[in-house]
């Protein structure tokens, strides 16, 4: 072995070791990034509205685990036997949108307000109420469809930045829904909802 040969082999080995280390580090960093992204997805999944190729809204997924904000109740029996929204209106929004709203006091783009309707368990009284060990009143029963609004200032410019959808007032909920014209839903929200077309007057943790 000559000095030149020895030095050459040393350089080759060092270069090879460096390349291998580099490849391992690249692989590890990729995995690190992927794991963080996946965990982030689980923890702070930023669920956004999803649309079909035709532009219909797809029924939002896992809404029942979102942040609940309130349940106005309009019993059928107090509304001529057929309330416009029968009967409990259980309203949810995405956790990320709730967090952002609490910080900024503004509903961020992509906010979904999901109103799941739920019938009361039929009651014995003319007002539709029933008596249970906890008292006389209204008790949630069968699910009954959903109404959904989506904040997107560009897509829904003619209804104040919110799109209005109905996924049936019965079960099962429709898998997709077409946007409603302004006079079917938006006009009433625009006229009466306290803040940015949302009924914050009924959702105490949003009423600020």
Contacting residue, 84, 104, 157, 208, with a second copy by CB under 8 A: 84
State the pairing for strand pair 162-166/140-151.
antiparallel
Least distance in angstroms from the C-beta of 41 to a second copy: 8
**Where in 36-65 is the site for a second copy (CB under 8 A)?**
36, 39-40, 42-44, 64-65
Closest to a second copy by CB, 13 or 55: 13
Q: Closest distance between a second copy and the C-beta of residue 176, in Å?
A: 23
- We find the least distance from the C-beta atom of residue 165 to a second copy, in angstroms, to be 17
Q: What dihedral angle (degrees, nearest 10) is formed by the CA atoms of 163, 61, 87, 56? A: 30
| H/E segment holding residue 143 | strand 140-151
Residue 194 lies near a second copy (rule: CB under 8 A): no
Query: For a second copy, which is the closer residue by CB, 51 or 202?
Result: 202
* Residues from 122 through 141 that contact a second copy (CB under 8 A): 127, 129, 132-141
Quick one: which of 58, 95, 160, 168 contacts a second copy (CB under 8 A)? 95
Q: Is 94 exposed, middle or buried (0-12, 13-18, 19+ CB in 10 A)?
A: buried
How would DSSP label each residue in 155-167? TTGGGTTEEEEE-
Residue 79 or 176 having the CB closest to a second copy:
79
The label of the residue with tokens 């940015």 reads 196
Which residue lies nearer to a second copy by CB, 29 or 153? Answer: 29
The answer to the question of residue 3 lying near a second copy (CB under 8 A) is: yes
Q: Residue 77 — φ and ψ, nearest 5°?
A: -65, -20
29 binds a second copy (CB under 8 A): yes
Provide, rounded to whole angstroms, the least separation between the CB of residue 134 and a second copy.
5
């Amino acid at each position: 072995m000559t000095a030149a040969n020895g030095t050459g082999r040393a350089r080759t080995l060092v270069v090879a070791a460096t390349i291998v280390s580099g490849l391992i580090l690249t692989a590890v960093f990729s995995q690190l990034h992927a794991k963080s992204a996946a965990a982030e997805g689980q923890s702070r999944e930023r669920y956004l509205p999803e649309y079909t190729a035709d532009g219909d809204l797809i029924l939002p997924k896992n809404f029942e685990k979102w942040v609940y904000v309130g349940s106005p109740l309009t019993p059928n029996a107090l509304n001529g036997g057929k309330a416009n929204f029968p009967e409990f209106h259980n309203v949810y929004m995405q956790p990320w949108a709730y967090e952002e709203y609490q910080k900024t006091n503004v509903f961020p783009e992509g906010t979904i307000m999901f109103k799941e309707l739920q019938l009361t368990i039929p009651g014995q009284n003319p007002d539709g109420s029933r008596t249970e060990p906890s008292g006389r009143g209204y008790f949630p029963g069968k699910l009954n469809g959903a109404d959904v609004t989506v904040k997107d200032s560009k897509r829904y410019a003619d209804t104040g930045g919110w799109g209005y959808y109905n996924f049936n007032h019965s079960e099962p909920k429709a898998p997709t829904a077409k946007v409603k014209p302004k006079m079917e839903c938006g006009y009433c929200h625009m006229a009466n909802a306290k803040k940015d077309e949302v009924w914050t007057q009924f959702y105490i943790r949003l009423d600020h």
